[in-house]
């Protein structure tokens, strides 16, 4: 635990600033002790204390840069007035000037650095360290260089903050997209379950009612109806197991899911029609145009819309006859389920049924449309139009036989 927290402790701003201030103070004192030029007063304990007082306040330069630079100016001037070497105490002052330039606007920086430039000229003239022109040039160049370096660091820090904010926004966007993907997947699964359960339960309900009605008078018909019930029940369970297997595969990772039948497509339409036909609805399948392989997603969309349309015939229009039409156009496929029965509508609720909503959402997913409306002469029609890819992707099959 102690080893893991040590790097964070070392990188904390307070530790870094304290270490830097102590190091600069040590350098100033050692340089003063090493000065044997004889031009200045011998470096003694007072000089060491003034050097420390002019340098150690830089520990607080991040929180109060202007007061810190003024304190550094004060003890630097005090050391110069007492006749000690002024050069050895400039390190803390220069660091404090940088802190002001890095954290304050230009005019605040100029006001805070101007006393330092003036002191530089005055001290240089008093110590006969150079000509007036040279000292003025140094007094202007040094603060200007400090400001330029600090300004570049400030812009770099601002850029880094913007990048960090952009990365955080990207992370939030990824999480939001992941949440939306999960929600969309749940909606898709709910739609699949609705289609599976609604269709097969309608078939089971009709056939179970028929079996009960003719159980004593026509045992053969009752037996056939019960066979249809069992077949529909088995198909519903198989489809639900397939969806649940896909969910388990997504949750458990790359493990191989159990092998179930693939998602239904156009090749499954004849079986679907035959199942509804055995439930008592005469159905004709018409295929026009030139059948060709379609992407699996489009095939599933067509299959589910036709399934929903036939389920509605069973639930709301039987007894009736129905016609399923698949029209392969050059750039689209049109699927139509039309019946001639009188609708036995449920009481109006002011909201469209979940089946119609599901059909429209499926069609929108592939850039198409789905509509359901009564026919002028009686009956009802469900119509699906889907655009086809310019270069048809290979699907599981070209479509049901004519």
pLDDT tens readout for residues 273-311: 888 888 778 899 999 998 888 888 888 889 889 988 888
Rama region for 334: left / alpha / beta (φ>0; ψ in -120 to 50; rest): beta
* CA–CA gap between residue 257 and residue 243 (Å, rounded): 11
Of residues 320, 347, 344, 324, the one with CA closest to residue 334? 324
C-alpha distances (whole Å) from 133 to each of 37, 257, 356 are 25, 85, 89
| Residue indicated by tokens 């898709």 | 188
* CA–CA gap between residue 62 and residue 60 (Å, rounded): 6
Structure tokens, 265: 């497509």
Encode pLDDT of 257-276 as tens digits. Answer: 444 455 678 888 998 888 88
* CA–CA gap between residue 109 and residue 50 (Å, rounded): 25
Q: pTM value?
A: 0.46
Element (H, E) at 349: none
> CB of 194 within 8 A of CB of 202?
no
Output the pLDDT for position 259. Answer: 46
Q: Indicate the pairing of strand 332-339 with strand 322-328.
A: antiparallel
> CB of 295 within 8 A of CB of 395?
yes
In percent, the amount of the chain with pLDDT more than 90 equals 8
Query: Which sequence spans correspond to the domains of the chain?
Result: 2-130, 266-402
Output the pLDDT for position 354. Answer: 61
Encode pLDDT of 340-366 as tens digits. Answer: 877 655 444 444 456 677 788 878 888
DSSP 82: T
Average pLDDT (365-390) is 88
* CA–CA gap between residue 235 and residue 196 (Å, rounded): 9
Half-sphere exposure of 220 (CA within 13 A, CB side): 0
Of residues 114, 110, 103, the one with CA closest to residue 151? 103
Q: Tell the burial category of 130 from Cβ atoms under 10 Å away from its Cβ (0-12, 13-18, 19+).
A: middle
DSSP 377: T
Output the CA torsion sign for 373, 378, 384, 385. negative
Name the more confident of 346 and 195: 195
pLDDT-derived band of residue 90, with 50, 70 and 90 as boundaries?
confident
Output the pLDDT for position 242. Answer: 64
In percent, the amount of the chain with pLDDT more than 70 equals 77
Encode pLDDT of 221-230 as tens digits. Answer: 777 778 777 7
C-alpha distances (whole Å) from 336 to each of 171, 220, 372 are 45, 34, 10
Alpha helices, H only, 45-131? 45-55, 65-81, 90-103, 106-126
330, pLDDT greater than 80: yes
249, pLDDT greater than 60: no
DSSP 294: -
383, pLDDT greater than 90: yes
313, pLDDT greater than 90: no
* E-only strand ranges, 273-354: 283-289, 322-328, 332-339
Lowest-pLDDT range, 142-146, 203-207, 221-225, 363-367? 203-207
> Which CATH architecture fits 266-402?
2-Layer Sandwich (3.30)
> CB of 370 within 8 A of CB of 363?
yes
Of residues 248, 395, 273, the one with CA closest to residue 325? 273
SS3 sequence, 224-271?
HHHHHHHHHHHHHHHHHHHHHHHHHHHHHCCCCCCCCCCCCCHHHHHH
Cis peptide before 292 (omega within 30 of 0): no
Mean pLDDT for the chain?
78
Average pLDDT (91-113) is 82
* CA–CA gap between residue 152 and residue 287 (Å, rounded): 72
> CB of 298 within 8 A of CB of 332?
no
254, pLDDT greater than 50: no
Contacting residues for 315 by C-beta, under 8 A, at least 6 apart: 202
- Please provide residue 383's backbone torsions phi and psi, each rounded to the nearest 5 degrees: -130, 125
156, pLDDT greater than 80: yes
Rama region for 329: left / alpha / beta (φ>0; ψ in -120 to 50; rest): beta
- In three-state secondary structure terms, 373 is strand
Q: What radius of gyration, in Å, describes the C-alpha atoms of the chain?
A: 43
18, pLDDT greater than 90: no
């Amino acid at each position: 635990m102690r080893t893991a927290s040590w790097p964070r402790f070392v990188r904390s701003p307070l530790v870094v600033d304290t270490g830097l201030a102590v190091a600069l103070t040590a350098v100033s004192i050692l340089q003063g002790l090493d000065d044997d030029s004889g031009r200045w007063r011998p470096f003694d304990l007072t000089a060491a204390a003034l050097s420390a007082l002019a340098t150690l306040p830089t520990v607080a330069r991040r929180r109060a840069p202007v007061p810190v630079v003024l304190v550094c100016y004060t003890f630097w001037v005090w050391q110069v007035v007492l006749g000690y070497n002024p050069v050895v105490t400039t390190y803390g002052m220069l660091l404090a000037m940088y802190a002001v330039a890095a954290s304050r606007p230009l005019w605040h920086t100029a006001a805070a650095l101007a006393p330092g430039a003036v002191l530089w000229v005055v001290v240089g003239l008093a110590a006969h360290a150079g000509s007036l022109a040279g000292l003025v040039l140094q007094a202007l160049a040094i603060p200007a260089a400090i400001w330029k370096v600090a300004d570049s660091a400030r812009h770099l820090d601002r850029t880094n903050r913007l990048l960090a904010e952009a990365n955080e926004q990207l992370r939030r966007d990824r999480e939001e997209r992941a949440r939306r993907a999960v929600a969309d997947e749940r909606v898709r699964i709910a739609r699949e379950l609705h289609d599976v359960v609604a269709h097969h339960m309608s078939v089971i309900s009709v056939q179970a009612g028929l079996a009960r009605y003719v159980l004593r008078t026509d045992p053969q018909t009752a037996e056939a109806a019960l066979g249809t019930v069992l077949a529909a029940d088995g198909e519903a369970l198989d489809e639900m197991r397939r969806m649940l297997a896909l969910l388990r595969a997504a949750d458990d990772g790359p493990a191989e899911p159990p092998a179930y039948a693939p998602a239904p497509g156009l090749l499954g339409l004849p079986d679907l029609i035959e199942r509804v036909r055995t439930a008592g609805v005469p159905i004709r399948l018409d295929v026009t145009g030139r059948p060709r392989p379609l992407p699996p997603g489009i095939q599933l969309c067509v299959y589910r819309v036709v399934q929903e349309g036939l389920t509605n015939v069973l639930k709301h229009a039987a007894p009736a006859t129905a016609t399923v039409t698949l029209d392969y156009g050059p750039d689209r496929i049109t699927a139509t389920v039309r019946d001639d029965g009188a609708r036995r509508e449920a009481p109006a609720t002011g909201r469209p049924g979940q089946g119609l909503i599901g059909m429209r959402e499926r069609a929108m997913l592939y850039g198409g449309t789905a509509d359901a409306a009564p026919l002028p002469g009686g009956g009802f029609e469900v119509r699906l139009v889907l655009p086809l890819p310019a270069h048809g992707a290979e699907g599981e099959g070209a479509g049901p036989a004519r």
